[in-house]
A and B are shown apart, each in its own frame.
Chain A
Amino acid sequence: MYGTVVVENLTKTYYTKQRKGLFKSEPRNVEALKGVSLDVKEGEIFGLLGPNGAGKTTLIKILSTLLLPTTGSARLNGYDVVTDDNAVRATVGCMLMGDRGLYWKLTGRENLLYFGALYHYSPADRKRRAQEVIDMLDLGDLADRSVETYSSGQKMKLAFGKALINDAPLLILDEPTNTLDVPSASELRAIVRQKNQQEGKTVIYTTHIMAEAETLCERVAIIDYGQMLASGKVAELKSSLGREHVTRIAGVIPAKAVEAVKKLPAVSQATLGSVDGMAELTVMSHNGTDTLARLIETLGQVGATIQKITPQDVTLEDVFIAKTGRTLAENTAVDTGAKK
């Protein structure tokens, strides 16, 4: 029971207002989740993937009891998020808002001690647990400096430490590497992996970085526009694309190239993104080599200048593109626009 998450047909609608100038507004419903179901097993690292605005954070906030669902149910560690919310809070460790969840005027240790008290540790136990976390994360002397003097990476590390303070069997980490540089992100991922492998902690890990999910997660779910588009083992999701070939073409590529390429008979999907400031067209086709010549010809016709063509293995990003027709870099605006 502990370390499990069962979500059934979860929906969440925000009732908000569309501002019309200074004094006027119209009621508006925003459906952030539309019947999401998932099942996380004890001891696994489960990735929740999707672009910004897809509904990941809403789902995480419901799972961590910050929001109430509109309909549906969710049970964490066997406790219902609506009726047993305090039991959920006591048995889940959360890192949701990064370094903003910390008191910057307090030291790292004082933060850990305070949150230890809010998790109902006795004074002696909270001291012991805070020291354990400090040692575990190798915070050393940093623990006794005020948080405002920390670097971004150090703050995120402490925020992660705060999620560990109640030694919960289930960790919910919402974009924990968001503001981190590459070495710090890698270090944090290593700690997450270690907590999972050595202590058996179940981890729900949200990210919009597909490469991160591929290296860390056993199973992932892709969420977009408030819906679960796909869910399964990383390898299974990649192989679900079947005999698809992925070709990335970098250069000066006009937007109209996407539609032109999509008209080619063997092409199943095409999206335009950018990498390091250069346009990159990702094309999925049933027969990569045979299509390549027609692809180059079509791009030439729409005025594209090709600088690099790279045939690639299927990645999770490609799975996302195949399911949504968009790259992860494009934000999702979850909005039905429906009026009350």
Chain B
Amino acid sequence: MSAITLPNRTPGKPGPAALISAMFATVRARLLIVSRYKGQLLNEIVTPIVLAAMPILLGRATAGDRASEVFLANTGTANYVGFMLIGSAVFVIVSNAFWHVANWLRWEMETGTLESIYLTPTHRVFVAAGTGIYSTSRSTVGAFVAYLIGSAIMGINPFQGDLLIAFLFILFGLIPLFGMTLLYGALVLKLKEANAMLNLMQWVVNFLMGVFFPITVMPAAAQFIAKLFPPTWMTNGVRSAMLGVGYFFNEWYFDLAVLWFFMLAAPMLGVWAFKKVENSVRRNEGVGQF
């Protein structure tokens, strides 16, 4: 018999470098898989343009030449085309980031590879983070290209306002989304169902983050709920930085601080809930059943 080589000196207790390496291996695997499905990126570029075009054209149809004037009075910017395009582009980023763990879990359950992942010593949160980085990078590139194309088609300048601050709002907004997506993923792991909830939540998210309108036009109670939702701060931050619609707390750094708070709290809550559900599922039917 030859000597047995163990994979780790401390089995099952990897260092941060090994976990980060596993996370980026997941990003690479996802990229390789999607590269074998042609046309997906094209869909993601077209979606925000179509999404924004409908209310823009509706606005023109109902308000005619006075569309900009009416919009300025209600939102603080006359650039309603930019407002909608930014809203749609951020919505595509948020939407993909928000569902990715749920979609990833369902996909892995159905293809049968989820149990393979659970057989390895890498915690699923790191694999989920890998799929999150992949999914968010992909949708961010798609949304940015869509914003550029949409701006060209609608005849507006895509580069206006403070782009660096807008970028900070997107960056800070994505991390709480990872926490939220883990919460939603935990639900899918338990209920083994994603589509019905996704269909419902898609519209709730769309409404709460104010994709097509500023949340200031909502009733007070709805505004309160919307402000508990990190993407609302993200969308408003990007619009304020680029179009000057106005921050909720008047200064960009106060709004960013709120996102910073969400950035700390949401992932902790998400990881806690995900682990809790994961153990509950392992106590009964297991993760592979769907």
A residues near B (Cβ < 8 Å) are 2-3, 14-16, 43, 61, 64-68, 77, 79, 84-92, 94, 96-97, 100-106, 110, 113-115, 117-123, 146, 162, 166-169, 197-201
Task: State whether B115 touches A90 (Cβ < 8 A).
Answer: no
Main SS of chain B's interface residues?
loop
Cβ–Cβ < 8 Å partners of B279 in chain A: 68
Chain B 84-113 interface residues, beta-carbon cutoff 8 Å to A: 111-113
Bound-complex Cα distance A127 to B81 (A): 50
A14-B285 contact, Cβ under 8 Å, with A87-B13, A105-B36, A200-B1? yes
Cβ–Cβ < 8 Å partners of B282 in chain A: 65-68
In the assembled complex, B122 has its CB within 8 A of some CB on chain A: yes
In the assembled complex, B250 has its CB within 8 A of some CB on chain A: no
In the assembled complex, B12 has its CB within 8 A of some CB on chain A: yes
Bound-complex Cα distance A85 to B287 (A): 15
Task: State whether B29 touches A121 (Cβ < 8 A).
Answer: no
A–B pairs, 18, beta carbons within 8 Å = A64-B119, A66-B288, A68-B283, A86-B123, A87-B13, A100-B112, A100-B113, A103-B111, A106-B29, A113-B25, A115-B120, A117-B26, A117-B122, A120-B22, A120-B122, A121-B7, A166-B7, A200-B4
- Further contacts, 16 of them, CB under 8 A, given A106-B33, A168-B7: A14-B285, A61-B286, A65-B282, A66-B115, A66-B287, A68-B279, A86-B12, A89-B120, A91-B7, A91-B12, A110-B29, A118-B127, A120-B14, A123-B21, A166-B120, A197-B1
Bound-complex Cα distance A277 to B106 (A): 40
Task: State whether B4 touches A3 (Cβ < 8 A).
Answer: yes
Bound-complex Cα distance A231 to B121 (A): 31
Taking a contact as CB atoms closer than 8 A, the residue among A77, A102, A200 that contacts B2 in the complex is: A200
Task: State whether A101 touches B112 (Cβ < 8 A).
Answer: yes
Chain B nearest CB from A238 CB (Å) reads: 28
With a 10 A CB-CB cut-off, give which of B7, B8, B13 has the most chain A CB atoms.
B7
Bound-complex Cα distance A61 to B114 (A): 13
Bound-complex Cα distance A100 to B119 (A): 14
B residues near A (Cβ < 8 Å) are 1-2, 4-8, 11-14, 18-19, 21-22, 25-26, 28-29, 32-33, 36-37, 111-113, 115-123, 127, 279, 282-288
Cβ–Cβ < 8 Å partners of B32 in chain A: 105-106, 110
Cβ–Cβ < 8 Å partners of A166 in chain B: 7, 120
Bound-complex Cα distance A117 to B36 (A): 21
Task: State whether A120 touches B121 (Cβ < 8 A).
Answer: yes
Task: State whether A79 touches B11 (Cβ < 8 A).
Answer: yes
Cβ–Cβ < 8 Å partners of A64 in chain B: 119
Bound-complex Cα distance A166 to B116 (A): 13
Task: State whether B8 touches A120 (Cβ < 8 A).
Answer: yes
Bound-complex Cα distance A14 to B118 (A): 20
Bound-complex Cα distance A88 to B120 (A): 9
With a 10 A CB-CB cut-off, give which of A94, A117, A197, A201 has the most chain B CB atoms.
A117
Task: State whether A88 touches B4 (Cβ < 8 A).
Answer: no
Bound-complex Cα distance A273 to B26 (A): 48
Task: State whether B33 touches A118 (Cβ < 8 A).
Answer: no
Cβ–Cβ < 8 Å partners of B121 in chain A: 86-87, 89-90, 118-120
Chain B nearest CB from A7 CB (Å) reads: 17
A119-B7 contact, Cβ under 8 Å, with A14-B284, A103-B33, A199-B2? yes
Task: State whether B284 touches A91 (Cβ < 8 A).
Answer: no
Q: Which residue of B lies closest to A106 (CB)?
A: B32
Task: State whether A97 touches B115 (Cβ < 8 A).
Answer: yes
Cβ–Cβ < 8 Å partners of B21 in chain A: 117, 120, 122-123
Cβ–Cβ < 8 Å partners of B283 in chain A: 67-68
Task: State whether B4 touches A2 (Cβ < 8 A).
Answer: yes
Cβ–Cβ < 8 Å partners of A197 in chain B: 1
Q: Which residue of A lies closest to B279 (CB)?
A: A68
Cβ–Cβ < 8 Å partners of B123 in chain A: 86
Bound-complex Cα distance A272 to B36 (A): 51
Chain A nearest CB from B290 CB (Å) reads: 12
Cβ–Cβ < 8 Å partners of B284 in chain A: 14-15
Bound-complex Cα distance A83 to B271 (A): 19
Bound-complex Cα distance A168 to B36 (A): 32
Bound-complex Cα distance A197 to B2 (A): 9
Task: State whether A66 touches B112 (Cβ < 8 A).
Answer: no
Chain B nearest CB from A92 CB (Å) reads: 8
Chain A nearest CB from B131 CB (Å) reads: 12
A89-B4 contact, Cβ under 8 Å, with A94-B119, A123-B21? no
